[in-house]
Amino acid sequence: MGLLALGTPLDWPEAKKNADQVREWGIKQLLSIWNKAKGKERDALLWGDEVEYLVVTYEKDKPEVTLSLRQADILHALAQDEELSSEGGCVPALQDIGGSTLPIFHPEFGRFMLEATPGKPWGIGFKDLLDVEPNMKLRRKIAKDHMNPEEYPITLTTYPRLGSPGTFTTPCFPPSGDKLRSQFVPDEIANPHIRFPTLAANIRSRRGRKVQVNVPVFKDKNTPWPWKDPTVNYDLHKWKEDDDVRNGASPDNFIHMDAMAFGMGSCCLQITFQAKNITEGRKMYDQLSPLGPIMLALTAATPIYKGFLADTDVRWNQISAAVDDRTPEELGEKPLEHDRWRIPKSRYAPNSTYISEDPRLRKEYLDPNLVIDPDVKQQLMDGGMDSVLANHFAHLFIRDPIVIFAEDLQKLDLNKTDHFENLQSTNWQHIRFKPPPVGSDIGWRVEFRPMEIQITDFENAAFSVFMVLITRAILSFDLNFYIPITKTDENMETAHKRDAVLNDKFYFRKNPFPTRAPRPYSSNGGLNSGTASPAMLSRPPTPSGPVEDEYALMSIDEIMNGSKGDSTNDFPGLIPLVESYLDSMNVDVETRCELSAYLSLIRKRANGTLWTAAKWIRHFVQGHEEYKSDSVVGEKVNHDLIGAVIAIENGGIKDVRDVEKFLGPVTKPCSG
Amino acid sequence: MTRLILSTGNIMTSGPSIIRRPGADRSNLELTSSLRSNFIAAQQDLSPPLSATNGNGSTSDSETESPGRPPASVWTRRDGSDYYIPTIDWSMSGLSEEPSQYDVTVKLFYLPGADIKHRAQYAKDAIKLVLKELGVQTIDLLIVSYPGMSFEGDCEWEADKKNSSQGNDEEEVASWPVFEEFYQQGVVKKLGLAEYGSEKLSRFMSRVKVRPKVDQVNVKDCCNVPPPLLKLAKLEGIELLVHNDCTDVLPSGTLRELLGQGAKGAGVLSESKRGLDGMKGDLTPNWVVKYTAVVRDRGVIENKGYFAVAELRE
């Protein structure tokens, strides 16, 4: 989440009236950063991971499990301890760290969430890669040490019974508050910092109704069909939004949710990379984009919503719907009258355009229907930005700013980026291109956002490290993963399907290798001396065939592990690419051993030897004695599931059902 | 006698030849396939465009005229007794940033059939080529691979023990001074060995002036390094690095096939007595050198390639 500046937030439609000013100032701030930083060069690879936690209260012998809403208290306890440690430290947990920088904890949208990042960014030194997992474990431990004994930080993407009837928070509050107007969750579910309730309320106001988060329910043996969400109350009359369900917001066979918390209350694993310069940053942004849906499907961990088994495995579309502020006109439900354009996607969506100046970026890869604000584009180009990048920002700026603080509207400060960030940070695309912050030495960065958080730190470290290594392989081998960007949208949809990781196919580029640069030829035999004019050297470039011939539908196994003999493709596989990269580097045996364990986990998830978290959770629920094959994840099942998740990371892993199918042999393969 | 100098150019951007095939641990596939693809590339790039020739070149010896293959003279170069396959355009060499930004690693493979009394010269030749190719003055790590060494077998203790009697201690120690010289001149900052087990390594260290700082090993499972070796490495401050090469990286049969007239050959070497260009006779691969330049703080491999040198006695 962005900076939590305090101030007086404008309600909708007051905020709307100031949207143009915020956009205009945002563009000016962007141009100011761009002009300062476009020539920034030779930044090192620095990277960081963000791990998000749910905080639950759980006791083995007590049937109730709840989300703890004590985020503020926990952060307060952590902050106090960090002060102590900076003064020499007197808390045992913080003394054992041996000089490494303490992790940093942040608030998140959900009041039951925490986010933790390493205290300083990681580098590419292989020792750094080995520090990631212990650091994640340390974060979990420090968080736990500052909670009540019955509270645990867990890394499930969503809380299975969030919004179910009955008690699911501690303390408990009634739903139907003024800000969210949700019939399932209370306003107190959101971080009380004024930014968050305002964000939720203004999204709802702009939209003209509550958000509609509908997930297809999983049809089990005893699931009544058609299935009507039994938790929806059609008789509420407190807010005008209570009409939504009477107007068809809750269709048959879908689990219905109605508040931002159902999406923004999800935990993700995000990785941010610093690029060498803007050119490399733009290249990385483009090349990581097609990997998004693949990594989403591979990290699938979200099979339950509001106490029901869903027919999807990942969180993405639910977050997308939970912050969808589009009006009926923008959605195409009404003719355009007050709004400027139809917008095909939510603010939270796969990215919609490529931004690199790479000559391999064919115009056929771009979406011809990309919506941009032509005035914004013109301003950016007048300010010196090239049209490709100007297009990107002119697309982000089709949105309205949602949260505007009155204090920020008084004068434009070009040494700040608040107005730019207002739009930038509420465009939640699956890759984010981040300009250098003003007044710091940080460079251009790219954030990879689609992955689901994994239950264990081992898995989270594995996926984080894999992403770092694949970016190094991309840059070293000059790989090319371009496909038409609308295919990435389709892939994101495919990634939602139950067990997409094994059963579905994704569009992916068949040949990722660069075309060889030809040697200069000179007609007087052999090589020229190197001084001949390049003009006469080049042969006609290999004619590029139809774009449709460049990609094919492949399984995740084929994409990750390479094409097998029976495939018509000859894709090398992302993991072999990473291994080839490692083969060319000086890696010590211990590091390689650890990295092999990570790559082995990912290889096995991709080929089905190991289950995704989504599959493990499904099996856990469906194999539970209290489960009645009716898609309902009741309180007892939930209790035991949370208990198992806690046990996995707290020394009880051996007793957890099916854990070896999920994580492999309980002792790590490389512990020898 | 002709010295054949084979080169791959920068293989990082040359496509699939560098990519490891699943299950292929310990191989010379990278070397052979990148040599082959560099030969083909040079043949394509350096043969005259069709419009500039009448037909398919001027030679008429049917043996070298497999369809589409240009005569060796257009893409190779003879320079005294040196024969470059393919010809190298040194004006294209060098790295894109300041040399200080890079970690340069070089691995020199002494091949089994080569004459050991020329080892010092081989080392000098190899280093010279690499420095020229990368446009640098120094090498951060030079790893020496002597023939006949390995870690074989499933049991790591056994492999370490077996290793102890492999190679030839006398010859290896006797070949070391040239590397010590590089080190003392500052051309090489750190020396390393490949495939030394604990016993061989401790014997070696007791007999040399400049000790190796690195031992590059290929054990079947990198998580099961022989414990005695781990212990010794820790004690002596030697870094154990992983690699994926086989020691006999270029057997003469493979080389002959690479250069020969077959479907996968470059067509440089004659297989019959009536060969062309005088290129026939006994072929002995002497050494191979692999070099890698990595942008240090970004972990990006900018340049990687091989030179392989063989001797042809006509």
A residues 600-629 lying closer than 8 A (beta carbon) to B:
none
The CATH number of domain A1-225+258-515+548-612, selected from 3.40.190.10, 1.20.58.220, 3.30.590.50, 3.40.50.1400: 3.30.590.50
Taking contacts as CB-CB distances below 8 angstroms, the residues of chain A near B214 are 586
Nearest-CA distance from A298 to chain B in Å?
20
Report which of A586, A438, A500, A580 is spatially closest to residue A32, judged by C-alpha positions.
A438
Q: Do A585 and B244 touch (CB under 8 A)?
A: no
CB nearest A476 (choices: B97, B103, B300)? B300
Query: Looking at the partner chain, which of A42, A472, A518 has a beta carbon nearest the beta carbon of B299?
Result: A472
**pLDDT tens, A486-545?**
999 999 999 999 999 999 999 999 999 988 777 776 554 444 444 333 333 344 445 578
ipTM exceeding 0.90, yes/no: yes
Distance from CA of A100 to the nearest CA of B (A): 20
Inter-chain residue contact B46 with A123, CB threshold 8 Å: no
* Chain B CB within 8 Å of residue A407 CB: no
pLDDT confidence bin for A439, thresholds 50/70/90: confident
B-proximal residues of A, 32-61, CB under 8 Å: 42, 44-45
Domain ranges of chain A: 1-225+258-515+548-612
- Between positions 502 and 531 of A, the ones with CB within 8 A of B are 513-514, 516-521, 523, 525-531
B97 in reach of chain A (CB within 8 A): yes
Residue A227 to residue A214: CA distance in whole angstroms: 13
**Torsion A403-A407-A410-A414 (CA) sign:** negative
Q: Can you tell me the mean pLDDT for B164-193?
A: 96
Neighboring chain B residues of A573 at a CB cutoff of 8 Å:
22
pLDDT digits (tens, 9 = 90+) for B34-46: 999 999 999 988 8
Contact A523 B52 (CB under 8 A): yes
Give strand pairing partners of A636.
Answer: none
Closest in B15, B77, B97 to A513, CB measured: B15
As a whole number of angstroms, the distance between CA B119 and CA B288 comes to: 12
B237 touches chain A (CB under 8 A): no
Chain B touched by A472 (CB under 8 Å) = yes
Interface test with B, best of A283, A589, A604, A671 (most B CBs within 10 A): A589
> Which of A60-74, A494-508, A633-647, B63-77 shows the lowest mean pLDDT across its residues?
B63-77
Query: Both tokens of residue B167?
Result: 């190679």
Using pLDDT thresholds of 50, 70 and 90, give the confidence band for residue A5: low
Find chain A residues with C-beta within 8 A of B45's C-beta: 518-521, 539
A551-560 pLDDT, tens digit per residue, is 999 999 999 9
Per-residue confidence band for B58, with pLDDT thresholds at 50, 70 and 90: very low
From B224's Cα to the closest Cα of chain A, the distance in A is 7
Give the pLDDT confidence score for residue B154 in this predicted structure.
66
Interchain contact, A525 vs B74, CB within 8 Å: yes
Confidence grade of residue B26 (pLDDT, cut at 50, 70, 90) = low
In chain A, % helix, strand, coil (3-state, to 5) comes to 40, 10, 50
Q: Which of A359, A380, A310 is nearest to A542 (CA)?
A: A359
CA–CA gap between residue A30 and residue A33 (Å, rounded): 5
Other CB atoms within a 10 A radius of the CB of residue B55 amount to: 6
Structure confidence at residue B279 (pLDDT):
66
| Least reliable range by pLDDT among A581-590, B17-26, B116-125 | B17-26
What angle (nearest 5°) sits at the alpha carbon of residue B266, between those of residues B263 and B271?
Answer: 75
Q: How many CB pairs under 8 A join A and B?
A: 135
Q: Chain A contacts of B46, Cβ < 8 Å?
A: 519, 521, 526-527
Is the Cβ pair A523, B48 closer than 8 Å? Answer: yes
List Cβ neighbours of B59 (8 Å cut-off, separation of 6 or more): B65, B71, B276
Q: Is A581 on the interface with B (CB under 8 A)?
A: yes
Q: Taking CB atoms and an 8 Å cutoff, what residues of chain A touch B49? A: 521, 539
Q: Is the pLDDT of residue A282 over 60?
A: yes
The verdict on B40 touching A (C-beta cutoff 8 Å) is no
Alpha-carbon distance of A34 to B230, in angstroms, equals 51
Cβ neighbours of residue A412 closer than 8 Å, sequence gap 6 or more? A25, A28, A29, A419
Mutate to test the interface with A, among B78, B154, B223, B303 (most CBs of A within 10 A): B223
Dihedral of alpha carbons B8, B12, B16, B21, sign: positive
Flag whether residue B219 sits within 8 Å of chain A, measured between CB atoms.
yes
Distance separating alpha carbons of residues B22 and B24, to the nearest angstrom = 6
Of B90, B222, B302, the CB nearest to A589: B222
Tokens of A63: 């049937």
Q: pLDDT tens-digit profile of A176-225?
A: 999 899 999 999 999 989 999 999 999 999 999 999 999 999 999 999 99
Interchain proximity B87–A539, CB inside 8 Å: no
